[in-house]
Amino acid sequence: MALVKTILPPAAPDTRYLKTEMESLHDQFGPSWAPPRYTTALNAEARRSWLASGHSLFQLTASRVVEEVDVNLFRTTADATRIWNLERKLATIREPHSRRVTEPTPTGAQTGSIYSCSAAHGYSGCTLAWRQGATISYVLILGKGPSALNPGVAEGLVPRVLPLQLQVAKHILANCDMSDGVLKQAA
């Protein structure tokens, strides 16, 4: 858990820090609405390889938009790759009562990143996700209403997610040793 807290950013530009929360193994399981063939595989892999996860929340000043930074640690790079591939397959299935828009991955994002926007149940948001060694990380921008699906708004969010992605990526490199494929805290 201490390593997750070290990786999560303590602040985000033009935001007010809300909280940092550690996550449980149950938080890593597939959603109940997904087909069992995906959730069964994802849940088994998470049980076998998950170490720790957590997220920090920041509120944009002068708005109801929230930025969330989420970091998930797995035993090995191979474990994180398997989880990443399962999550990518699951992401192709539309959540009930939601609308998803896949945007081009922003220029300057970590290699292999995925960027998408969606709306459901009165909120909308955009997510930049990537795998880095034995970690899987996300930067989410969430707000009320369907505005994030408007291409102009979604494009306007990119300048907010890229600096956070870079900050988290640097914290991972500085605090994690994955030289042999096994996640260890750097000395």
Domain containing 98 — which CATH number?
A: 3.40.1000
Task: Look at residues 133, 53, 42 and name the one whose alpha carbon lies nearest to residue 91.
Answer: 42
**What total number of domains does the chain contain?**
1
Parent domain of 59: 2-185
pTM for the structure as a whole: 0.91
Listed range (10-19, 37-46, 47-56, 149-158) with the worst mean pLDDT? 149-158
Q: Is the pLDDT of residue 120 over 80?
A: no
Tell me the mean pLDDT in the region 52-58: 97
Q: What's the pLDDT tens digit per position in 137-178? A: 999 988 876 665 565 666 677 788 899 999 999 999 999 999
Tell me the mean pLDDT in the region 119-144: 88
Tokens for 75? 């035993």
Q: What single string gives the DSSP state of each residue in 52-112? A: EEEEEEEEETTSS-EEEEEEEEESBHHHHHHHHHHHHHHHTSPPTTEEEEEPPPPTTPPTT
Q: Is the pLDDT of residue 51 over 70?
A: yes
In b/e form, how buried is each residue of 5-41, taking b as 16+ CB within 10 angstroms? ebbbbeebeebeeeeeeebeeeebbbeeebeeebbeb
Q: What's the pLDDT tens digit per position in 93-116? A: 877 777 777 778 888 999 999 988
